[in-house]
Structure 1
Amino acid sequence: MITNNKYKYYFYSSLLVLTFILLFKATYTLSISYKEALNVFVNNSVLSLITNISIYILGQNDLALRLPFILFYTFSIIIMYKITENYFRYEKDRYISIIVFMLLPGVLSASLLVNSAIVVTFFTLLYLYYYHKYNKHSYLLLLLFLFIDNSFAILYLALFFYSLKNKDTKLLYISLFLFTLSMYIYGFSTGGKPRGFLVDTFGIYATIFSPFLFLYFIYTMYRSWIKNDTTLIWYISITALLLSMLFSFRQRIYIEDFAPFVVISLPYMLKTFFHAYRVRLKEFRTKYNILAFLVILMLSINVILTFVNKPLYLILPNPNKHFVYQYHFIKELVEELHKRNIHSVVTDDYELALRLKFYHIERGEDYFLTLKNYDYPSERISIKYYGKEVFVAYLIKIK
Structure 2
Amino acid sequence: MSIRLALFIILTLDALLLIFQISELSISYNEALLLSGDFSFLQVLIKTSFYFFGQNDFALRLPMIILHILSAILVYKISEKYLKINRNRVWLLLVFIFLPGVMSAGIIVNEAGFILFALLLFVYLYKKISYPHMYILLILYMLLDGSFVYLFISLAMFAIYSKNRAFFILNILLIIGSLYIYGIDMHGSPRGYFLESLGIYAAIFTPIIFIYLFYVLYRRYLTKDIDMLWFIATVTLAISLTLSFRQRIEIEYFAPFVILALFLVAQTFEHSYRVRLNIFRKNYKLMFLISLILLFVNSSVVFFNKYLYLIVEEPKKHFSYNMHVAKELSVELKKRDIYCVNTSTKMAKRLEFYGVTKCNSYILQENYLGESTQDNVTISYKNVVVYSANVTKINTN
- For Structure 1 versus Structure 2, the TM-score category normalised by the shorter chain is over 0.9
Deviation at residue 372 of structure 1 after TM alignment: 4.3
In the alignment, which residue of structure 2 is the partner of 1:117? Answer: 112
Comparing 228-237 and 84-93, the one that deviates more: 84-93
Q: Report if the CA contact (8 A) 2:83-2:266 is conserved.
A: no
> Which of 31, 42, 60 is the equivalent residue of 1:36?
31
Q: Confirm whether residue 50 of structure 1 aligns to residue 45 of structure 2.
A: yes
Is the 8 Å Cα contact of residues 344 and 361 (structure 1) preserved in structure 2? yes
Structure 1 residue ranges without an equivalent (≥5):
none
Q: Once the two structures are superposed, what CA deviation does each residue of 1:42-79 show, in whole Å capped at 9, x if it has no partner? A: 34333322222222332110011111111111111111
The equivalent residue for 1:235 is 231
Paired with 1:193 and 1:265, the residues of 2 have a C-alpha distance of 30
Q: 2:26 touches 2:323 (CA, 8 Å); kept in 1? A: yes
- Choose which of 357, 360, 385 in structure 2 pairs with 1:389: 385
**Pair 1:283 & 2:263 matched:** no
CA contact (8 A) 1:51 1:68 kept: yes
Are the aligned partners of 1:83 and 1:132 in contact in 2 as well (CA < 8 Å)?
A: no
Of the three residues 139, 142, 151, the one matched with 2:138 is: 142
1:91 to 76, 86, 94: 86
- Is 1:253 the counterpart of 2:212 in the alignment? no
Kept after mapping to 2: 8 A contact 1:234/1:265 = yes
Q: Does 1:181 align with 2:166?
A: no
Partners of 1:98 and 1:344 lie apart in 2 by 46
In the alignment, the residues of structure 2 paired with residue 62 and residue 43 of structure 1 have an alpha-carbon distance, to the nearest angstrom, of 21
The C-alpha deviation readout for 1:65-118, integer Å capped at 9, x for no partner, is 111111111111111211122532211011111111111111111111111011
SS in 1 for 2:146: coil
2:386 maps to 1:354:
no
3-state DSSP class of the match of 1:345? Answer: strand
SS at match of 1:60: coil
- Between 1:243-252 and 1:188-197, the stretch displaced more is 188-197
Q: Aligned letter for 1:167?
A: K
Letter in 1 for 2:315: P
Partner of 1:309: 305
Shift in CA distance, 150/280, structure 1 to aligned 2, threshold 3 Å: same
TM, length-normalised to structure 2: 0.94
Alignment length (residue pairs): 392
- Deviating runs (4+, > 4 A) in structure 1? 375-378
**Does the Cα contact within 8 Å between 1:150 and 1:186 map onto a contact in 2?**
yes
**Corresponding residue number in structure 2 for 1:60:** 55
Which among 68, 77, 82 is matched to residue 82 of structure 1? 77
Check whether the contact 1:378–1:397 (CA below 8 A) recurs between aligned residues.
no
Contact kept, 8 Å, 1:356 with 1:362, in 2: the verdict is yes
Shift, 1:378, TM fit: 5.2
What is the rounded CA distance, in whole Å, between the counterparts of 1:249 and 1:6 in structure 2? 49
Deviates more, 1:264-273 or 1:184-193: 184-193
Q: State whether residues 377 and 396 of structure 1, in contact with CA within 8 Å, keep that contact through their aligned partners in structure 2.
A: no
Aligned to 2:166: 170
Deviation at 1:343, TM superposition (A): 1.7
Secondary structure in 2 matching 1:146: helix
Paired letter, 1:309: N
Alpha-carbon separation, structure 2, partners of 1:119 and 1:205:
19
Determine the C-alpha separation between the residues in 2 that align with 1:89 and 1:341.
62
1:370 equivalent among 358, 365, 368: 365
When the two structures are superposed, what TM-score results if normalisation uses the length of structure 1?
Answer: 0.94
SS at match of 2:97: helix
Q: CA RMSD in A?
A: 1.8
Q: CA deviation at 1:366?
A: 3.1
Match of 2:315 in 1: 319
Higher mean C-alpha displacement, 310-319 vs 44-53: 44-53
How big is the shift at 1:303? Answer: 1.5
**Aligned-partner Cα distance in 2 for 1:43–1:306:** 30
Q: Distance in 2 between matches of 1:147 and 1:389?
A: 45
- SS of the counterpart of 1:151? helix
Distance in 1 of aligned mates of 2:264 and 2:145:
26
Contact in 2 for aligned 1:244/1:258 (Cα 8 Å): yes
Using the alignment, how far apart are the partners of 2:192 and 2:81 within structure 1?
43
> Is 2:373–2:390's contact at 8 Å kept on the other side of the alignment?
no
Does the aligned pair in 2 maintain the 1:319–1:390 contact within 8 Å? yes
Alpha carbons of 1:74 and 1:376: their partners in 2 closer, same or farther (altered >3 Å)? closer
Identity of aligned residues (%): 39
